[in-house]
Amino acid sequence: MSLLPNLNEMTDEEKLAALASIQQSIRESKDLQKQKIAKNVDLVVQALKKVESDIRGRFDSVGTKLEQRIANIKDGQDGIDGRDGKDGEPGKAGKDGKDGRPGRDGKDGVNGVDGQDGVSVTNVFLDFDNSLVIELSNGRQINAGEVLPPDIADRLKIIINQGASGGGGGGASLPDQSGNAGKFLTTDGSNASWGTPAGSGDVVGPSSATDNAIARFDTTTGKLIQNSTVTVSDAGDISGVSSLGVANYIDFDITPTVSNAEGRLYWDSTQKTLSVGLTTSVAADIGQTLYAYATNDEAVTINKGQPVYMFSAAGDRMTVKLASNSGDATSAKTLGVCAENIAAGQAGMILCQGVQDGLNLAAFSPGDTLYVGATAGTLTNIKPYAPNHLVYIGVVERANAGNGRLYVRVQNGYELDELHNVSAQNPTNGQVLIYNESTSLWAKNTITAGTGISVTNGAGSITIASTGGGSGDGGAYAWFLS
């Protein structure tokens, strides 16, 4: 049953009233829409659209007639504004919509293109011009340039006709080298293993190669074999060589940049000779210096540059103590000066002859002659006289507080009983030297008393006196020798 009356049964006034009512409803709906849009916007909009659609469908013809009628009606007075309608009650909250249907599964992706094989190193060798050539598995060759000086490369080149495969150390492999005659091959890695021999001139060796070991030809097997004793380091140092064989000569670099080390042989450009490291701090200039290795028998450290004398021996080594010119025992056996600090009971180098650097000689001048001093372990440029003993130590080459240089050449001052043609050991008071032609020696002896003459031998003097009893002497006489 329709809620609206039949338009054909309505008068024009009723139709206008209905239209006005509808317009009023529309306005109210729009006001309601504005007020409630935050709460129920979607429902209001849909409801209004439906109402508007229904009204337009039903009153299209009414609208046409109204337009005709309105056109014939004279303008009337404006009506009084009607009262505002009351707000409608809030609409109920809408229900949540149902979940939509699951979407369709996407299509399977297309298979990717397979990646290309990697490139590996298949061969490494020295070219005819001593350039390192690297061959890759794709056939490409890379010239890395010269890697060794020509003279070294010519000596180290080895004919390799061997395919070597990597062991547990890295798994790398080398191809057959039979076509690389005259090319140099090196291996590295402590776990590298030699592969199966290939071609003539096979290379054989132990299951595990020594790092940096070289190969040599063995006439017994007719093969190149690894020598685990002789090695060449990455820096070019050779070790494990017990003999260099027969050589016409060896050239040393005469302007080397080298620091001293124990067991190291090198050219000393300052002294113009070869120098060999005796310790980390002492080097001997061959043909110019002479060192002795001795033990310090003092209770204190003997410092570098102090003079020492031979005291005794301990085990299989000589012992030394600080020298002094105050007595024969501490000066006659002067050995030289310490070349380094030597702690009590420890062994060190004593320079017996040659140049000693690094001394404190600020108290002297270049050219000064130095002697053993009266205080143990000291040097003096004042020549000692008796009763002090004279011992020459050397000459100052450079006077400096920390880098003084002394040329050491020990000479012990000669004493009367040290002369080779004097026999005067253990003399006593009043003895004199008397030459004995039969022995060709000056020998100690005493003056013999005679008839009427007495001899008294004193400390530094001889008294000869007449005892009387001689014919016509008339008295006694005395002579003094001093």
Domain boundary among 413, 446, 469: 413
| Within a domain: 199 | yes
Residue 411, beta-bridge partner list: 392
**Domain closes at, from 15, 50, 72:** 72
Q: Are 195 and 164 in contact (CB under 8 A)?
A: yes
Residue 62 shares a structural domain with residue 125: no
Same domain, 357 and 438: no
**Contact between 162 and 125 (Cβ < 8 Å):** no
In a domain, 105, yes or no: no
Residue 165 has pLDDT above 50, yes or no: no
More confident residue, 458 or 336: 336
Does 294 lie in the same domain as 271?
Answer: no
Residue 134 lies in a domain: yes
Domain assignment of residue 245, yes or no? no
Q: Extract the tokens encoding 435.
A: 């030459």
Run of H or E including 28: helix 12-58
Q: Which domain holds residue 264?
A: 256-284
Domain count, the chain: 5
The rounded percent of the chain whose pLDDT value lies above 90 is 25
* Each residue's pLDDT tens digit, 255-308: 988 889 998 999 998 889 999 999 888 988 898 899 999 999 999 999 999 999
pLDDT digits (tens, 9 = 90+) for 386-398: 889 999 999 999 9
Question: Given this model, what pLDDT does residue 199 score?
Answer: 41
User: Which of the listed residues 72, 97, 129 is the one where a domain comes to its end?
Assistant: 72
Kindly report the backbone phi and psi dihedral angles of residue 191, in degrees, each rounded to the nearest multiple of 5, phi listed first.
Answer: -110, 10
Calculate mean pLDDT across residues 313-331.
94
Structural domain contains residue 94: no
Whether residue 176 contacts residue 197, with contact meaning beta carbons closer than 8 Å, is answered with no
Residue 352 lies in a domain: yes
Contact 326, 371 (CB under 8 A): no
Residue 410 has pLDDT above 90, yes or no: yes
Residue 458 included in any domain = yes
* Selected residue with higher pLDDT from 402 and 122: 402
Residue 265 — φ and ψ, nearest 5°?
-110, 130
The answer to whether residues 343 and 402 belong to one domain is yes
The residues, any chain, with a CB within 8 Å of residue 124's CB and separated by 6 or more, are 132, 133, 134, 135, 174, 185
Phi/psi for 277 (5° steps) reads -75, 115
Question: Which two three-digit tokens encode residue 385?
Answer: 């006289």
Question: Which is more confidently placed, 140 or 429?
Answer: 429
Same structural domain, 300 and 273: no
Distance CA 292, CA 315 (A): 16
- What was the pLDDT predicted at 20? 80
Query: Does residue 323 share a domain with residue 305?
Result: yes
In a domain, 109, yes or no: no
Q: Is 310 found in the same domain as 262?
A: no
The whole-number pLDDT of residue 181 equals 40
Q: What are the pLDDT digits (tens) for 340-384?
A: 999 999 999 999 999 999 999 999 999 999 999 999 999 999 999
225-243 tens-digit pLDDT = 776 678 888 877 788 777 7
The pLDDT of residue 10 is 74
The 10s digit of each residue's pLDDT in 185-225 is: 444 433 334 444 444 445 555 556 677 777 777 788 777 77
What is the overall mean pLDDT for the chain?
76
Task: Using pLDDT thresholds of 50, 70 and 90, give the confidence band for residue 38.
Answer: low
Same domain, 194 and 132: yes
